[in-house]
Amino acid sequence: MGQIQLKSVKKCFGDVVVIPPLDLEIEDGKFVVFVGPSGCGKSTLLRLIAGLEDVTEGTVEIDGKDATGLPPAKRGLAMVFQSYALYPHMSVRRNIAFPMKMARIPQDEQERRISEAARVLNLTDYLDRRPGQLSGGQRQRVAIGRAIVREPAAFLFDEPLSNLDAALRVGMRLEISELHKRLDTTMIYVTHDQVEAMTMADKIVVLRDGVIEQVGSPLELYREPRNLFVAGFIGSPKMNFVDGPEAAKYDAHTIGIRPEHIDVSAESGEWTGTVGVSEHLGSDTFFRVNVDGFGDPLTVRADGEVDLHYGDTIRLAPNLDQLHRFDAEEKRLA
In sequence order, the 6+-apart residues with CB closer than 8 A to the CB of 326 are: 227, 228, 231, 252, 253, 254, 255, 256, 332, 333
Average pLDDT over residues 110-122: 92
CATH number of the structural domain spanning residue 145:
3.40.50.300
Residues 255 and 187 in one domain: no
Average pLDDT over residues 133-161: 91
In sequence order, the 6+-apart residues with CB closer than 8 A to the CB of 332 are: 224, 225, 226, 227, 231, 324, 325, 326
Residue ending a domain, among 201, 231, 261, is 231
Label residue 116 by pLDDT band (50, 70, 90): very high
Nearest to 114 by CA among 133, 137, 94: 94
* % pLDDT > 90, the chain: 80
What's the rounded Cα separation, in Å, for the pair 142 and 221? 33
Average pLDDT over residues 284-306: 91
Residues 12 and 100 in one domain: yes
Residues 192 and 300 in one domain: no
Say which range, 64-73, 204-213, 225-234, 300-309, has the weakest mean pLDDT.
300-309
pLDDT at 1: 66
| DSSP class per residue in 227-292 | BHHHHHHSSSSPPEEEETHHHHTTT-SEEEE-GGGEEEESS--SEEEEEEEEEE-SSEEEEEEEET
pLDDT at 221: 97
Q: Count helices and strands (H / E) in the chain.
A: 9, 18
Residues 286 and 217 in one domain: no
As for how many domains the chain has, the answer is 2
Nearest to 154 by CA among 250, 220, 63: 63
pLDDT at 303: 87
pLDDT surpassing 70 at residue 26:
yes
pLDDT at 163: 79
pLDDT surpassing 90 at residue 85:
no
Q: Is residue 139 part of a domain?
A: yes
pLDDT at 170: 87
pLDDT at 18: 96
Average pLDDT over residues 25-33: 96
Gap between the terminal Cα atoms of the chain: 38
Q: Is residue 255 part of a domain?
A: yes
Average pLDDT over residues 307-326: 93
Which H/E stretch holds residue 181? helix 166-183
Q: What average pLDDT is seen over the chain?
A: 93
pLDDT surpassing 90 at residue 133:
yes
Q: Is residue 265 part of a domain?
A: yes
Which pairs with CB-CB distance under 8 Å and at least 24 residues apart come from 160-166?
160/80, 160/81, 160/82, 160/189, 161/191, 161/196, 162/82, 162/191, 163/82, 163/83, 163/84, 163/136, 164/136, 164/137, 164/140, 165/136
**Strand ranges (E), 93-239:** 154-158, 186-191, 203-208, 211-216
Residues 223 and 259 in one domain: no
pLDDT at 47: 96
> Domain range for residue 208?
4-231
pLDDT surpassing 80 at residue 266:
no
Residues 85 and 213 in one domain: yes
Q: Is residue 333 part of a domain?
A: no
pLDDT at 334: 85
Q: Is residue 268 part of a domain?
A: yes
Label residue 129 by pLDDT band (50, 70, 90): very high
What's the rounded Cα separation, in Å, for the pair 47 and 53? 6
- Pairing mode of beta strands 31-35, 186-191: parallel
